[in-house]
Amino acid sequence: MFPSPPIQEFWPQDRPQERSLDQLFSEHRQELIGFLTRQLASRELAEDLCQDIYLRLRATRDWPASPRAWLYRIARNLIIDHHRRQSRAPVFEELDIEGEPVAAAHLDPEDCLEHRQQLQVINGALAELPVHVRQALTWYRIDGMTQREISERLSVSERMAGRYVQQAQQHCATRLAAASIYHSEWPERT
């Protein structure tokens, strides 16, 4: 993280309350960063939240009755906000699909296990396909390419590119059905 520039440079010196708010923040900044670092176990995050404290301090019009307690109240509220955002963020579990993290829709263990099994079956099914068929499906489903774009890349007709995609989808669906974990048709891409 880059060192913070002197706070006094940002505000005109002819406003005494702003100068005293700046002084208040400057006096307690390192103490607040220490508090936030202990609470969050991250110095970088602590420095970011400390900047948020400063912005909230600058937004106030009234001098707080107990300035130090007020700064710590802001810090605690920001920690709570941070934890709330973290709890709403998608949970990632590491799956064995080219090392890419995949977001779990929710944390139900049975659904996670079923999802993992489906991905393993699909990964195996894709490995069984010829390279050009697998690539056509990947370009279509993941990269969002059209059949025309796929046909140009593979140097085949547009109709043949569509057949490759259909063939790959059918192969994956067949493997999922054989593994008894297939529930519905492939969803249409919108």
Residue 190 confidence (pLDDT) above 80: no
Whole-angstrom distance, CA of residue 136 vs CA of residue 166: 9
Residue 177 confidence (pLDDT) above 60: yes
Predicted local confidence at residue 19, as pLDDT: 55
Q: Which of 2-11, 59-68, 121-130 shows the lowest per-residue confidence on average (mean pLDDT)?
A: 2-11
Residue 156 confidence (pLDDT) above 90: yes
Predicted local confidence at residue 1, as pLDDT: 44
Predicted local confidence at residue 96, as pLDDT: 44
More confident residue, 27 or 62: 27
Q: Which of 30-34, 63-67, 154-158, 168-172 shows the lowest per-residue confidence on average (mean pLDDT)?
A: 63-67
Q: Which domains does the chain have, with CATH numbers?
A: 7-88 (1.10.1740), 91-178 (1.10.10.10)
Q: Which of 67-71, 120-124, 186-190 shows the lowest per-residue confidence on average (mean pLDDT)?
A: 186-190
Average pLDDT over residues 138-147: 84
More confident residue, 167 or 98: 167
Q: What predicted TM-score, i.e. pTM, was given to this entire model?
A: 0.41
- Kindly report the average pLDDT of the chain as a whole number: 78
Q: Please report, to the nearest 10 degrees, the dihedral formed by the alpha carbons of residues 71, 75, 76, 77 taken in order.
A: 100
Predicted local confidence at residue 15, as pLDDT: 43
